[in-house]
Structure 1
Amino acid sequence: MNHQSSPPKPELIAKQDFWPFLLLTTLFMLWGVAHNMTDTLLAAFKRIMSMTDFQTSWIQLAFYGSYFCLALPAALYIRKYTYKSGILLGLGLFAIGSLLFYPASITMSYGFFLFALYVLAGGLSILETAANPYILVIGPQETATQRLNLAQSFNPIGSIMGVFLSKVFILSKLNMAEADDRTSMDPEALKAIQAEELAGVMNTYVGVALFLVFVWFVIRAVRMPVASETVEGDGVISGFRRLAKNKNYVRGVVAQFFYVGAQIGVWSFTIRYVMVELDLKESDASDYYLVALILFALSRFLFTALMKFFKPSLLLALSSLVAIACCLVVIYANGMVGVIALVLISLCMSLMFPTIYGLSAEGLGKDTKLGGSGLIMAILGGALITAVQGQVSDITGSIHLSYYVPLVCFVVVMYFGLSHYRRKKAKVQHPPVKMVH
């Protein structure tokens, strides 16, 4: 009897590419550090400069606005040169932006801090525009989404480090004087307090910059795999026309915009919500943010494993549904119940970014680099939607009601997951008929 052997399952990553892949995953960790240090800056600047929630949301506008502005130039740069050159350019700008926190703290100018964040985030935009599609194309297409989820699993490890650094070196250095007390202070005394608080911010970012310089030289020296991707033979305009006609891709970009808005909104106001509900100061409230990020990190590995048994799109839809339910609890519950629901949202969010990215980039072929820029530009949602959430909080006087904003975002993400799942299911049930000539 002849037994026909089943085809071998596609590997996640080739053995010869393991160490370069591991090095790439450290980049995902590094921008996790930057993202979540930025989230804690909202709570820090609210106290240091006595700002409203909307005014502090300008931090996210500068950060994610830079993502939007730099993603397309980054894609064009990578298109002309290589993924590795894009990674080195991004790391360089990341380091320069971090170093700019030194003059910003000396001048004590909020505008200068926003400029430093803009430069820093521009580097991250280039870094993500290069690294995400690079991970997708350096292995089999069948395992691309799973591979990206694995690489992205290191991102929340960086996020935890970012919050820990902020808690120890920034939030713990804040003077406990409230806005009303600061208004009545002698200007020179207030300036001295603010200078000490801003020094904590500056020292932390400059320390990160020195480490980034070291990583830059390591990546410069390592030989990276050449991506097996078709070189574009036509212009950028033709590529964007193809992308615009791809319904799955367009829906994915929209879903990514709303997802990032939800994630940044949930995390940016977590410390504020915990402070209100549990009557804690910033440093103590950040512990709950840290727990949320630990759950986020652990569940990302869990979801990566579950993708061996369940369709990524189905997991995306189900996790969105649970996130919506958690948002409702956050809005209408009080005390520890609301805080627990808020922490659990992070568990639901862990698979969303890489899964939306991977599902959206399916079948893009030679347009993968351009398509990647659109998915990174969608990170602008982190700026705009966070600003909307800040406005809702200020206008209603309720941090609770502001969580209706991420709730709506999760509805959009759930729709994308369901639409992709149904489309794939329909293709399996009704495969296209081939014409025989």
Structure 2
Amino acid sequence: EDSGPSADAMSGQDVGQGPIYKQYNLIFAFLAQFCYVGCQVSIATLFINYAHENGGFTDSQAANMLSYALITFTVGRFIATALATVFQSDFLMIIYTVCAIALTAYCCVGRGTSAVAVLIVIFFFEAPMYPTLFTLGTANLGRHTRRAAGIMVQGVAGGAVFPPIQAAIADHSSTRISYVVPLVGFVYVLGYVTMHWLRHGRHVMRVKEADYPPVERDVDGIVVVEEKKNTDAWVERI
């Protein structure tokens, strides 16, 4: 999913200049990816416990519901991909993340079958987050693009950090209360995508065509002029 043209790209500024540790958008995007993957894995890991304790379902029924949730996730990915051709990706992420936060907050306080149904719906709004965060974090980084892609992939480490924390809270309190852990993670993701949207044009609808001024890059002491004529050329290819 393309994140669309940034303010820096439209002005001709190469945001990939400087060392990689000064690419602050990449750093914040990595943290958002870390939090998102942690949220996704922890929500799925304690799903059966939640459905059993809070919804009164048997373990086998809860396992079936988890499979329905994963189907919901798959459907959500395709729908989000279609919507990303119309709406700007960072704006779409704001909408999806706000919904995920609201639904997760309900799961922290809700009880019964309705709370389990809401938990299933969360999977729908999780669906586009990983690829969109990856694109937002790696776009327009020039010579840093490949290394940035590797850094963003390492965000999956969040899936090893969040579940033990949530499980510890579930043991000391309840599975329902433990869902505050992914709630906090989603809040950070919202903060990142909102910052990105505010700093990169505040577009709601996807920008399909745009002409950009030439960008000069210093490659091994040789100045190379690159012309970016449309949004397809804006995204650096891996």
Match of 1:250 in 2: 27
2:141 counterpart of 1:370:
no
Q: In structure 2, what residue type is equivalent to 1:269?
A: L
* Higher strand fraction (1 or 2): 2
Q: Which has the higher contact order (CA 8 A, sep 6+)?
A: 2
Match of 1:261 in 2: 38
Q: In structure 2, what residue type is equivalent to 1:343?
A: I
Counterpart of 1:425 in 2: which secondary structure? coil
Q: In structure 1, what residue type is equivalent to 2:185?
A: C
Q: Distance in 2 between matches of 1:411 and 1:279?
A: 29
Contact persistence 2:3–2:90 (CA under 8 A): no
The C-alpha deviation readout for 1:284-338, integer Å capped at 9, x for no partner, is 2111111111111111111111111111001111111111110121111111111
Match of 1:401 in 2: 177
Counterpart of 2:175 in 1: which secondary structure? coil
Distance change (3 Å), C-alpha of 1:331 and 1:242: same
Which has the larger Rg? 1
Q: Distance in 2 between matches of 1:413 and 1:242?
A: 25
Q: Distance in 2 between matches of 1:333 and 1:385?
A: 21
Match of 2:128 in 1: 351
Q: Percent of pairs identical after alignment?
A: 30
Counterpart of 2:201 in 1: which secondary structure? helix
2:112 counterpart of 1:335:
yes
| TM-score for both structures, normalised by structure 1 | 0.42
Contact persistence 1:274–1:285 (CA under 8 A): yes
2:123 counterpart of 1:325:
no
User: Residue 52 of structure 2: which of 275, 289, 295 is its match?
Assistant: 275
Q: Distance in 2 between matches of 1:402 and 1:252?
A: 25
Counterpart of 1:400 in 2: which secondary structure? helix
Contact persistence 1:295–1:347 (CA under 8 A): yes
The C-alpha deviation readout for 1:91-128, integer Å capped at 9, x for no partner, is xxxxxxxxxxxxxxxxxxxxxxxxxxxxxxxxxxxxxx
Q: Counterparts in 2 of 1:2-401, with a 5 A limit?
A: 144=2, 242-396=19-173, 398-401=174-177
Distance change (3 Å), C-alpha of 1:144 and 1:308: closer
User: Residue 416 of structure 1: which of 192, 202, 221 is its match?
Assistant: 192
The C-alpha deviation readout for 1:392-419, integer Å capped at 9, x for no partner, is 11111x0000000000100011111111
Match of 1:180 in 2: none
Q: Distance in 1 between matches of 2:100 and 2:53?
A: 21
Contact persistence 1:318–1:414 (CA under 8 A): no
Match of 1:192 in 2: none
Q: In structure 1, what residue type is equivalent to 2:167?
A: G
Contact persistence 2:70–2:123 (CA under 8 A): yes
CA drift at 1:248: 1.1
Distance change (3 Å), C-alpha of 1:387 and 1:292: same
Match of 1:154 in 2: none
Q: Distance in 2 between matches of 1:246 and 1:414?
A: 20
The C-alpha deviation readout for 1:237-266, integer Å capped at 9, x for no partner, is xx9x72211111111001001001100011
Gaps of 5+ in 1: 1-142, 147-238
Q: How many residue pairs get matched?
A: 195
Gaps of 5+ in 2: 5-15, 216-238
CA drift at 1:426: 6.5
Contact persistence 2:69–2:123 (CA under 8 A): yes
Q: Distance in 2 between matches of 1:408 and 1:338?
A: 19
Contact persistence 2:56–2:112 (CA under 8 A): no
Q: Distance in 2 between matches of 1:406 and 1:426?
A: 27
Distance change (3 Å), C-alpha of 1:426 and 1:307: closer
Q: Distance in 2 between matches of 1:297 and 1:331?
A: 24
Contact persistence 1:299–1:350 (CA under 8 A): yes
| TM-score for both structures, normalised by structure 2 | 0.76
The C-alpha deviation readout for 1:144-173, integer Å capped at 9, x for no partner, is 569xxxxxxxxxxxxxxxxxxxxxxxxxxx
Contact persistence 1:252–1:360 (CA under 8 A): yes
The C-alpha deviation readout for 1:211-257, integer Å capped at 9, x for no partner, is xxxxxxxxxxxxxxxxxxxxxxxxxxxx9x72211111111001001
CA drift at 1:366: 2.6
Q: Distance in 1 between matches of 2:185 and 2:91?
A: 17
